[in-house]
């Protein structure tokens, strides 16, 4: 809060904040050195901070202390927080809760397996094709690295290829090997095949 004729006070250290060292967040003025997470002391900015009461936190610490808990509410990939009970951990209610968590985890794993287990297979290498590496052509999904001519290994473009019996070829190799034969049917000008 700004004093009459003075600069505002930092809510962390209670000293005056001058313009050159000021960071504003949620209508308050902080020193740059004071604008840190109350828990892990990481420097913050206007995007990475969260407020709870009179304290400021990074998003991770705020989620850890005040966020929703339980299965599926971790901070990163693969995080599962469980409570560590004391002497009462072997009670009936604790065992029932543990069995419910196990059942939830197993159903979540089967849901993930069913979602990712049905991915298309690349016709060239027979491995799973994920969305980030997918090239769709001739009604199939290919890896980018497998999307090459069967004969010369040239990388292909979606509109500039030919297919035959499930394989893809560049226009040149397709014309040489499967195109019409005889006088006047060559690859390029002046080519004569007999």
Q: Copy the structure tokens of residue 116.
A: 């990712």
Residue 57 has a CB neighbour count (10 Å cut-off) of 23
Sign of the CA dihedral with 31 first, then 32, 34, and 35 last: positive
Q: Which of 83, 45, 39 is nearest to 60 (CA)?
A: 39
Residue 3: partners with Cβ closer than 8 Å, 6 or more residues away: 9, 16
pLDDT tens for the chain, residues 1 to 194:
444 567 888 888 888 888 888 888 777 888 888 888 888 988 887 677 788 888 888 888 888 877 765 555 555 544 444 444 444 444 455 555 555 555 555 555 445 444 555 788 999 999 998 888 888 888 888 898 999 999 999 988 888 888 888 889 998 898 888 887 766 555 555 555 44
**Residue 81: its pLDDT value, please?**
47
CA distance 138 to 127: 18
**Residue 148: its pLDDT value, please?**
93
Residue 69 has a CB neighbour count (10 Å cut-off) of 12
Count the alpha carbons within 13 Å of 5 in the hemisphere toward its beta carbon.
0
| Cβ-contact 127, 134 below 8 angstroms | no
**Residue 91: its pLDDT value, please?**
44
CA distance 88 to 35: 41
Q: Copy the structure tokens of residue 120.
A: 């298309």
């Amino acid at each position: 809060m700004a004093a009459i004729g003075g600069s505002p006070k930092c809510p962390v250290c209670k000293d005056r904040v001058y313009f050159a060292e000021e960071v504003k967040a949620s209508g308050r003025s902080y020193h740059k050195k004071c604008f840190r997470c109350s828990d892990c002391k990481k420097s913050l900015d206007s995007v990475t901070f969260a407020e709870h009461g009179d304290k400021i936190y990074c998003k991770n610490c705020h989620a850890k202390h005040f966020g929703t808990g339980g299965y599926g509410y971790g901070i990163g990939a693969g995080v599962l927080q469980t409570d560590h009970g004391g002497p009462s951990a072997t009670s009936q209610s604790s065992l029932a809760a543990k069995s419910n968590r196990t059942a939830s985890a197993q159903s979540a794993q089967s849901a993930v397996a069913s979602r990712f287990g049905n991915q298309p297979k690349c016709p060239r290498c027979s491995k799973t094709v994920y969305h980030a590496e997918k090239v769709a052509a001739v009604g199939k999904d290919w890896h980018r690295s497998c999307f090459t001519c069967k004969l010369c290994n040239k990388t292909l473009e979606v509109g500039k290829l030919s297919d035959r019996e499930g394989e893809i070829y560049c226009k040149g190799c397709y014309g040489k090997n499967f195109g019409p034969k005889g006088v006047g049917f060559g690859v390029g000008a002046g080519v004569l095949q007999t």
